[in-house]
Structure 1
Amino acid sequence: MSNSLAAAVLTPPDLTEAIRAVRALLAVADLDRAEVDFEAVIHSPQVLRRVQDVLPGGFEWWAFGETAEGSSKAGDDPAACLPIRLFEWGRPLDRAEPFIAALAGTAAAVRWDLNGWPEVPEAGLEAVSQKYAYLTLTVNSRDLCQDEPSQDHTVHVHTSRGDDGGRVEWLAACVGSTPTGRVEMAFL
């Protein structure tokens, strides 16, 4: 893994539109050995129960807040430690949409770790390996770390720092959009 740049290509108010864009981008990506990662701060017992149903077998978490204590590593009960920050890596792709549905307004990031972005000769783009092939949907947030809560959702495509923007423009066009201009470093 390596750090990448995450460029926002779409920020719709409708979650259904954001998911439709993610599906379109997944349709052009190489999904061989792809997996999905999750990050969220969960405040309510109801959301926690729904997320636990979606991610059977548990997930990594720790209590969230300056004086908070408790973690999955310590074997604590997450319901007794709310709010908690959840991190989970390497889940099958079919867990992404159920996880998003379980959130009920909770800010989160869902990142698809892809095997690659395709070569696009007509756009002068070479194939991109798994090292820089990621797609992130921030739900109820505009940034990767959920520091900017919002009522909308942002689709980010990842590229290398050396990318001239051509890949981002091409991927944005795949979902009928143009890059928004928001780019942030993604620490992977």
Structure 2
Amino acid sequence: MSNSLAAAVLTTADLSEAIRAVRTLLDLADVGRGEVDFEAVIRSPDVVARIRHVLPDLAWSAKAGKEHGSSEAGDNPADCLPIRVFDWGRPLDRAEPFIAALGPDPAAVRWDLDEWSAVPEAGLEAISQKYAYLTLTVNSRDLYQDEPAQDHTVHVHVRNRNGFQLARAHWLADQVGGRFTGRVEPAYL
């Protein structure tokens, strides 16, 4: 893993539209050995129960700090709310059930891709796994759940070599009916 820049290519209040965009982008990438990572702030015992149904061995810690509870200590997350979820390296098929379990809580779901495939007709070369990610922020505008929102944003990550590769962000946004507005943020992986 390596740091990248994440470009917001679609923001929508319609979660199903955001998921359709993610599926389209995944179809444009090589995901053969892909995996998915989850970060979230969970505030409700109902959401905790639904997420633990999807990820029974969920990795989490109390938002107030690990000394207030964590999965490492074997604590019950429902007794330690709010909690922060940092659960990485899951199979791709866990992403949509996790998203469905969230309710109003903010999260970032990041797909670690094998590569952004080359698009010769657009002049885009392949981008290796080291810099190929896709993130859906749910109920948050940013990657780190610091900017809660009632909408959802699809971010594409690309390599930061000789500056951000704007052509890739624009091309991917076009594929999902979005628009790259120039909003980027560093993704520390």
Q: TM-score range with shorter-chain normalisation?
A: over 0.9
Matched, 1:185 2:186: yes
Look up the match of 2:173.
Answer: 172
Unaligned runs of at least 5 residues, structure 1 = none
Letter in 2 for 1:138: T
SS of equivalent to 2:186: strand
Q: Within 5 Å, which residues of 2 pair with 1:16-55?
A: 16-55=16-55
Is the Cα contact below 8 Å between 1:10 and 1:180 reproduced in 2?
no
C-alpha deviations, 1:119-160, integer Å up to 9, x for none? 111111111110111000000000000100000000000011
Q: Which runs of 4+ in 1 moved over 2 A?
A: 65-68
| Alpha-carbon distance in structure 2 between the residues aligned to 1:4 and 1:92 | 22
User: Which residue of structure 1 lines up, in the alignment, with residue 81 of structure 2?
Assistant: 82
Give the drift of 1:4: 0.2
Aligned residue identity for 1:43: R
Does the Cα contact within 8 Å between 1:12 and 1:152 map onto a contact in 2? yes
Deviation at 1:77, TM superposition (A): 1.4
Q: 1:66 to 1:117 in 2, by over 3 A?
A: closer
C-alpha deviations, 1:144-177, integer Å up to 9, x for none? 0010000000000001112431111111111022
Which amino acid counterpart does residue 143 of structure 2 have in structure 1?
Answer: L
2:123 aligns to what? 124
Aligned-pair RMSD on alpha carbons?
1.3
Equivalent position SS for 1:11: strand
Change (3 A) 1:68 1:36: same
Task: In structure 1, give the amino acid aligned to 2:16.
Answer: T
1-side partners of 2:145 and 2:126: how far apart?
30
Q: Is the 8 A contact 2:35 2:113 kept in 1?
A: yes
Paired position in structure 1 for 2:5: 5
Percent of aligned positions with the same letter in both sequences? Answer: 68
Q: Distance in 1 between matches of 2:84 and 2:43?
A: 9
- How many pairs are equivalent? 187
- The 8 Å contact of residues 68 and 81 in structure 1, kept in 2 or not, is answered as no
Structure-1-length-normalised TM-score: 0.96
Question: Retained in 1: the 8 A contact 2:159–2:165?
Answer: no
- Retained in 1: the 8 A contact 2:40–2:86? yes
- CA 1:48 to 1:8, structure 2 compared with 1: closer, same or farther past 3 Å? same
Q: Does the residue aligned with 1:146 lie in a helix, a strand or coil?
A: coil
* Cα pair 2:7 2:155 within 8 Å, conserved: yes
Distance 2:23 2:123 in 1: 24
Structure 2 stretches lacking a partner, 5+ long: none
